[in-house]
Amino acid sequence: MDSSFAERLVAWQKKYGRNNLPWQKSHDPYVRWLAEIMLQQTQVKTVIPYFDRFIERFPTVQDLAEATEEEVMKLWAGLGYYSRARNLHKCAKEVQCRFNGSFPIELSDLESLPGIGVSTAAAIRSAATDEPCAILDGNVKRVLARHGMIGKGLTPRETENLLWADARSKTPLKEGRTYAQAVMDLGATVCTRTKPLCALCPVNQDCKAFQTDSQLEFPVKKVRAPVPEEILNLAVYTDGNEVYLLRKSERYWKGLWTLPQLRDEEAEQSEEVLPAIEHRLTHLLLRIYPVRLPIPAKIPAAWKAFTKEQIKTEALPTPIRKLLLEVL
Beta carbons of 176 and 131 less than 8 angstroms apart: yes
Question: Is the omega angle on the peptide bond into residue 219 within 30 degrees of 0, that is, cis?
Answer: yes
Distance between CA atoms of residues 45 and 39, nearest Å = 10
10 Å CB burial of residue 207 (0-12, 13-18, 19+) is buried
Amino acid (one-letter) located at 313? T
Known catalytic residues are 36
Q: Count of CB atoms within 10 A of residue 325's CB?
A: 12
226: left (phi > 0), else alpha (psi -120 to 50), else beta? beta
Beta strands 272-273 and 277-280: pairing type? unpaired
Beta carbons of 236 and 259 less than 8 angstroms apart: yes
